[in-house]
Amino acid sequence: MYKEIEAELGYAKIEGPDLHEIITKTKVILGRDVKHSDEQTDSSEQIIRLGQNLKISRRHLLFYFDEKKKEWYAENLSKNTVLVNRKPFSKSDPPKCISPISAIKIDDVQFYFFQSREEIE
């Protein structure tokens, strides 16, 4: 799996039954589909849309790479709980360091977050 990520020139990969995304930026927002004009993003963010499910917030989960620690983190931006490796993760929790392969569940959307073995420069 790592070789596929490296071959497609990404930092990480999100893979699930209906979700196949290469992470090309060090800041990624996952959330519900919104109209383009409603989005408030900057060019440093990659947006991944998870569908129209109203239990998924417009900006539900943030993945970001910590340059100093050289690790990926997740931050829950929603009032709804996310499962990370089968453990509840809420908005009140501090950002969570993500293991190289992590199982994530946001309501009925399940996927894996796979990190590249290559260090981000």
Per-residue pLDDT of the chain (121 residues; tens, 9 = 90+): 444 444 457 889 999 998 999 999 999 999 998 655 445 556 789 999 998 888 999 999 999 999 999 999 999 999 999 999 999 999 999 999 999 999 999 999 999 999 976 655 5
> pTM here?
0.83
Residue 106 pairs with which residues in a beta bridge?
A: 82, 109
pLDDT recorded at residue 57: 94
User: What's residue 1's pLDDT?
Assistant: 42
The pLDDT value recorded for residue 43 is: 76
- The pLDDT score that the predictor gives to residue 9 is 72
Rounded to whole angstroms, how far apart are CA atoms 54 and 92? 21
Rounded Cα distance, 35 and 108, in Å: 21
Predicted local confidence at residue 7, as pLDDT: 43
Predicted local confidence at residue 2, as pLDDT: 43
Edge-to-edge strand list for the sheet holding 101-106: 19-23, 12-16, 109-115, 101-106, 82-84, 87-89
Q: Report H helices in 1-121.
A: 2-7
Q: Which residue has the tokens 């790479």?
A: 65
